[in-house]
């Protein structure tokens, strides 16, 4: 053997790839060159084109030619497959076809089967999607094993861009479902449900139907799996006689294998919808949430309350299982609608953690989370002269609704405090004289205001301004157009508010037209509710919160509009697998700091309501959502403890007591009352609570029976109830509502005794579980009149709302610690102190 030949030569890793590219040449217009190589695709193409002196080309396809069993297929087979489909072959390897056509042919050859339509995607589930499917599948089968007739429910608490449609279809496939019903409050998401079903090879042969397909569902092919997409508003809609619409009778007669509720937040949705769209005209607001009722926005609430208790009463639909999808199901989590075994969580924190860990664990592999930007929250304390204009609420906070209040429409719209809003515009672009003088006096570095800091300006090329009303949107557009605001004249201002601006996706075209490719334009979109749900605008990189939002669900639903990924795939036209990230981070700018940080605190706790210490939950969130606060002189990053302290700034003993008197702490719906009635131990425990013996144990049965009787009668007779029956129903309704109120009041009165028990103990309780487990049983019974075992039982039955009690317990303990710490006493060893908190307290006093 020759000395220069190694005994064990290194095996060269040759991998066959199929490629397709186009060139800028009128003779090859609409054509693609399909070829194969074991070399670098770009190098191979450049070698081909070098002799022809062609410099401008675009690579559209660069995929493996390998099958799962290790065998390969050639470019000849791809071209033959395309020819068999009728695509004309021109000049050897050139074919008149599209990129998708080539991808479909490759997918068919790889799988050894022909696909209908445009099925060509063959990507696998991401780890979290596979986990969600596995957990739901296992739970369903565990329930069916115990009772084959049971109808299990499962919740995916998954933020937007989780890939819920694809994962939900994979669950249906794993379950062997043949009939799937998808219901949503947002018909605008229909495109996503249709696209996934019609492009991925796993769902080849499946049928997608909806009102938009204009196909009679009763004529669907019974041999193929069916997915029907509809809105709650359509399915719930009844004719004038109160009967199911004739066109929907088939839907109620079908035995579904799986019913999917998309974007349904169990009561959180209807509250959020009202808050998101309350600035719009009533008619516009109803259109935005697709309400087909003639009544106001709250007309559907009673029926939705029924759904959260029993779907079969609300929707006369039969199914084997329910899957719920929501990005902000905080009320469902906090009220115990689902137990831990029924929930899969994928939150913003999970997403950003996966993004970070992927780069650490797979540095040589494309990061599938790379394009999902990390959020930044920046809050600004306004100068005293502006704060004095609009302060309100229990914390005397800056009232954005009042500050930006306006009257009129169109060119006649104007701000109530126009001069002060002008000062605010000057502030955010760093040109307000008073703040500049203050900065010079303090010797401070110029604070990073949105439209003045060069580091922030690129992220404000395309921004979303969330205002209180239609009038304020029009007034802002008018003010920005005035001569003194020449800085903003470089921005194309789109007013997406009021009648004529379009509903749902219809409001989007003017925004897209103004943005264009996003590189050669600058835009500001003004809205008071439109485009805050169900739309994706990649170029939006920042949102200015200019209205009062009181729930974290609503706040982050709006904020996540700017977290959509913006990237360019195949940026150089020579690598379809390359991705250039154009938006690595995104910004939320808020001008009511206390309220904003309260939203962050509640959102962090809401993501993990069972966290042992809520501060840890908030710390986990701000690890990926940095919070920076400008207090009038300095911009500093706020940690989890500081966020909680600022969020509680102004909290008094009176306000805490009010929290312990909240109706949210107890549940007195029929489902909960039935649980009490079916348990002798629970009934005995309830009777020990002060005031219940006077009511009598039969009060629960009275409330349940009479409420269900009234509901059933109304449902059966609709508008045909005669005057006598209507009078009887009214009397019975008043009776059961009065008794339900009495039950609620007795339970709340008991709940108010828990803080007294906590105050007398030496334990540092952070949540309700601590009250139950770190106990002094005799003291608890003395203070509350109930044994700790009895209280634990009632909590387990959801009589007491553990989620809201967790918050109340933590707030009480934090307030107690802060109050003692402020006087120099440390109630518990290791109690932290926060400089920002001291600043807030000083300002409050």
Higher per-residue confidence, 613 vs 150: 150
pLDDT at position 137 over 90: yes
Q: What is the pLDDT of residue 366?
A: 81
Higher per-residue confidence, 198 vs 811: 198
pLDDT confidence bin for 166, thresholds 50/70/90:
very high
Least confident of 225-239, 482-496, 534-548, 600-614: 600-614
Domain coordinates in residue numbering, the chain: 17-111, 127-346, 373-591, 658-844
pLDDT at position 242 over 70: no
pLDDT at position 573 over 80: no
Report DSSP letters for 333-359, one per residue: HHTTSS-GGGEEEE-HHHHHHHHHHHH
Q: What is the pLDDT of residue 8?
A: 47
H or E stretch at 5: none
Phi/psi at 183 (5° precision): -120, 140
Q: How many CB atoms lie within 10 A of CB 156?
A: 25
Angle formed at CA 771 by CA 766 and CA 773, multiple of 5 degrees: 110
If you ran DSSP here, which 8-state letter would residue 26 be given? G
Q: What is the pLDDT of residue 840?
A: 31
Higher per-residue confidence, 391 vs 764: 391
- Sign of the CA dihedral with 501 first, then 507, 509, and 510 last: positive
Q: Measure the CA–CA gap between 643 and 649, rounded to whole angstroms.
A: 10
Across 361-376, average pLDDT: 87
Least confident of 130-139, 731-740, 785-794, 820-829: 820-829
Angle formed at CA 321 by CA 316 and CA 327, multiple of 5 degrees: 100
Across 6-26, average pLDDT: 73
Q: Report which of 606, 600, 601, 564 is spatially closest to residue 581, judged by C-alpha positions.
A: 564
Q: What is the pLDDT of residue 154?
A: 94
Across 172-197, average pLDDT: 82
What tokens were used for 693?
Answer: 């013996």
pLDDT confidence bin for 482, thresholds 50/70/90:
very high
Contact 804, 606 (CB under 8 A): no
Across 759-767, average pLDDT: 54
Write down the pTM of the prediction. 0.71
Least confident of 159-168, 335-344, 609-618: 609-618
Q: What is the pLDDT of residue 367?
A: 87
- Sign of the CA dihedral with 174 first, then 175, 181, and 182 last: negative
- What sections of 388-484 are H helices per DSSP? 400-403, 418-428, 433-442, 470-480
Contact 84, 99 (CB under 8 A): no
Q: What is the pLDDT of residue 418?
A: 94
Q: Measure the CA–CA gap between 392 and 405, rounded to whole angstroms.
A: 14
Pairing of β 31-37 and β 94-96: antiparallel
pLDDT at position 176 over 90: yes
Across 672-680, average pLDDT: 86
Across 228-248, average pLDDT: 69
Higher per-residue confidence, 503 vs 831: 503
Q: What is the pLDDT of residue 652?
A: 43
Least confident of 5-14, 187-196, 337-346, 661-670: 5-14
Q: Report which of 77, 541, 617 is spatially closest to residue 349, judged by C-alpha positions.
A: 617
Q: What is the pLDDT of residues 290-322, one digit of tens each?
A: 543 333 334 444 444 444 444 444 566 789 999
pLDDT at position 34 over 80: yes
pLDDT at position 816 over 60: no
Least confident of 116-125, 175-184, 761-770: 761-770
Q: Measure the CA–CA gap between 370 and 580, rounded to whole angstroms.
A: 10
Q: Which CATH number fits domain 373-591: 3.40.50, 3.80.10, 3.30.1380, 3.30.930?
A: 3.40.50
pLDDT confidence bin for 473, thresholds 50/70/90:
very high
Q: Report which of 533, 537, 528, 470 is spatially closest to residue 290, judged by C-alpha positions.
A: 533
Q: What is the pLDDT of residue 735?
A: 84
Q: What is the pLDDT of residue 172?
A: 96
pLDDT at position 374 over 80: yes
Across 649-666, average pLDDT: 57
Least confident of 102-106, 461-465, 807-811: 807-811
Ranked by mean pLDDT, the top range of 248-262, 377-391, 602-616, 816-830 is: 248-262
Mean pLDDT of the chain: 77
Phi/psi at 154 (5° precision): -140, 140
Classify domain 127-346 at the CATH topology level.
Rossmann fold (3.40.50)
Across 265-280, average pLDDT: 55
Contact 562, 461 (CB under 8 A): no
What is the CB-side half-sphere exposure of residue 821 using CA atoms within 13 A? 18
Q: Is 702 left (phi over 0), alpha (psi -120 to 50) or beta?
A: alpha
Q: What is the pLDDT of residues 376-424, one digit of tens each?
A: 999 888 887 787 777 654 445 678 989 999 999 999 999 999 999 999 9
Least confident of 459-463, 785-789, 829-833: 829-833
Q: Measure the CA–CA gap between 95 and 98, rounded to whole angstroms.
A: 9
Q: Measure the CA–CA gap between 33 and 506, rounded to whole angstroms.
A: 38
Least confident of 156-160, 183-187, 597-601: 183-187
Report DSSP letters for 146-191, one per residue: H-TT---EEEEEE-TTS-HHHHHHHHHHHHT-SEEEEEES-GGGHH
Least confident of 296-310, 607-621, 778-792: 296-310
Report DSSP letters for 658-719, one per residue: HHTT-GGGB--SHHHHHHHHT-HHHHHHHHHSTTHHHH-TTHHHHHHHHHHHHHHHHHHHGG
Q: What is the pLDDT of residue 815?
A: 55
Least confident of 286-295, 358-367, 421-430, 707-716: 286-295
Question: Percent of the chain, pLDDT > 90?
Answer: 24
pLDDT at position 626 over 90: no
Tell me whether domains 127-346 and 373-591 share a fold: yes
pLDDT confidence bin for 236, thresholds 50/70/90:
low
What tokens were used for 438?
Answer: 């203050």
Q: Report which of 137, 243, 141, 226 is spatially closest to residue 178, judged by C-alpha positions.
A: 226
pLDDT confidence bin for 267, thresholds 50/70/90:
very low
Across 70-90, average pLDDT: 85
Q: What is the pLDDT of residue 300?
A: 43
């Amino acid at each position: 053997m020759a000395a220069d030949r190694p005994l064990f030569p290194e095996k060269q890793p040759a991998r066959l790839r199929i490629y397709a590219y186009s060139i800028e040449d009128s003779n090859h217009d609409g054509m693609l060159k399909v070829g194969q190589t074991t070399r670098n695709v770009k190098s191979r193409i450049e070698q081909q084109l070098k002799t022809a002196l062609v410099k401008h080309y675009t690579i559209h396809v660069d995929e493996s030619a390998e099958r799962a069993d290790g065998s390969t297929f050639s470019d000849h087979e791809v071209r033959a497959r395309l020819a068999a489909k009728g695509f004309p072959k021109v000049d050897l390897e050139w074919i008149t076809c599209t990129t998708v056509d080539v991808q479909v042919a490759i997918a068919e050859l790889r799988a050894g089967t022909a696909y209908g339509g445009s099925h060509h995607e063959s990507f696998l589930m991401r780890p979290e999607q596979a986990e969600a499917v596995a957990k739901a599948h296992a739970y369903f089968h565990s329930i069916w094993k115990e009772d084959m007739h049971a109808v299990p429910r499962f919740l995916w608490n998954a933020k937007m861009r989780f890939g819920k449609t694809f994962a939900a279809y994979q669950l249906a496939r794993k379950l062997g479902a043949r009939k799937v019903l998808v219901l949503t409050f947002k018909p605008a998401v229909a495109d996503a449900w249709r696209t996934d079903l019609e492009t991925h090879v796993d769902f080849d042969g499946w049928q997608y139907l909806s009102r938009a397909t204009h196909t009679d569902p009763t004529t669907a092919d019974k041999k193929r799996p069916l997915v029907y997409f509809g809105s709650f508003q359509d399915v719930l809609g009844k004719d004038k006689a109160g009967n199911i619409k004739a066109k929907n009778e088939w839907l109620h007669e079908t035995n579904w294998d799986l019913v999917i509720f998309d974007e349904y937040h169990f009561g959180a949705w209807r509250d959020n919808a009202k808050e998101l769209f309350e600035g719009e005209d009533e008619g516009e607001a109803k259109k935005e949430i697709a309400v087909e009722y003639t009544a106001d926005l709250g007309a559907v609430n009673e029926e939705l309350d029924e759904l959260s208790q029993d779907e079969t009463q609300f929707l006369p639909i039969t199914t084997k299982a329910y899957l719920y999808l929501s990005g902000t199901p905080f009320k469902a989590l906090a009220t115990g609608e689902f137990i831990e075994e029924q929930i899969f969580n994928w939150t913003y924190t999970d997403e950003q953690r996966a993004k970070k860990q992927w780069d650490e664990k797979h540095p040589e592999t494309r990061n599938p989370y790379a394009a999902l930007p990390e959020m930044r929250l920046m809050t600004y304390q306004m100068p005293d002269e502006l704060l004095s204009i609009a302060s309100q609420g229990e914390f005397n906070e800056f009232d954005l609704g009042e500050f930006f209040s306006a009257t009129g429409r169109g060119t006649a719209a104007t701000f109530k405090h126009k001069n002060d809003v002008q000062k605010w515009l000057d502030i955010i672009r760093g040109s307000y004289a008073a703040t500049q003088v203050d900065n010079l006096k303090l010797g401070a570095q110029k604070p990073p205001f949105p439209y003045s800091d060069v580091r922030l300006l690129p992220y404000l090329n395309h921004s979303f301004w969330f205002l209180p009303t239609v009038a304020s949107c029009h007034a802002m557009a008018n003010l920005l157009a005035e001569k003194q605001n020449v800085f903003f004249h470089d921005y194309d201002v789109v007013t997406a508010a009021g009648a004529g601006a379009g509903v749902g996706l219809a409001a989007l075209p003017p925004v897209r037209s103004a943005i264009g490719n996003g590189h050669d334009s600058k835009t500001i979109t003004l809205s008071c509710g439109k485009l805050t749900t169900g739309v994706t605008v990649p170029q939006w990189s920042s949102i200015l919160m200019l209205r009062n939002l009181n729930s974290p669900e609503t706040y982050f639903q709006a904020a996540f509009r700017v977290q959509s990924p913006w990237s360019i795939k195949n940026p150089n036209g020579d690598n379809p697998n390359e991705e250039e990230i154009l938006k690595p981070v995104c910004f939320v700018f808020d001008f009511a700091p206390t309220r904003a940080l309260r939203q962050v605190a509640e959102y962090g706790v809401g993501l993990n309501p069972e966290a042992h210490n809520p501060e840890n939950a908030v710390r986990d969130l701000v690890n990926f959502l940095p919070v920076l606060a400008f207090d009038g002189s300095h911009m500093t990053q706020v940690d989890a403890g500081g966020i909680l302290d600022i969020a509680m700034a102004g909290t008094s003993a009176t306000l805490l007591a009010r929290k312990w008197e909240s109706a949210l702490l107890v549940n007195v719906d029929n489902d909960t009352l039935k649980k009490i009635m079916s348990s002798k131990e629970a009934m005995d425990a309830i009777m020990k609570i002060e005031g219940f013996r006077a009511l009598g144990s039969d009060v629960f049965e009275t409330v349940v029976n009479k409420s269900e009787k009234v509901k059933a009668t109304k449902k059966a007779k609709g508008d045909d109830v005669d005057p006598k029956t209507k009078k009887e129903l009214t009397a019975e309704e008043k009776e059961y509502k009065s008794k339900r109120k009495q039950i609620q009041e007795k339970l709340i009165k008991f709940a108010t005794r828990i803080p007294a028990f906590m105050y007398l103990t030496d334990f540092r309780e952070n949540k309700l579980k601590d009250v139950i487990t770190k106990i002094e049983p005799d003291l608890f019974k003395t203070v509350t009149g109930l044994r700790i075992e009895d209280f634990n039982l009632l909590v387990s039955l959801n009589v007491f709302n553990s989620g809201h009690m967790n918050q109340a317990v933590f707030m009480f303990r934090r307030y107690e610690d802060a109050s003692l710490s402020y006087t120099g006493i440390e109630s518990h060893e290791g109690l932290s102190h926060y400089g920002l908190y001291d600043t807030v307290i000083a300002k409050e006093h």
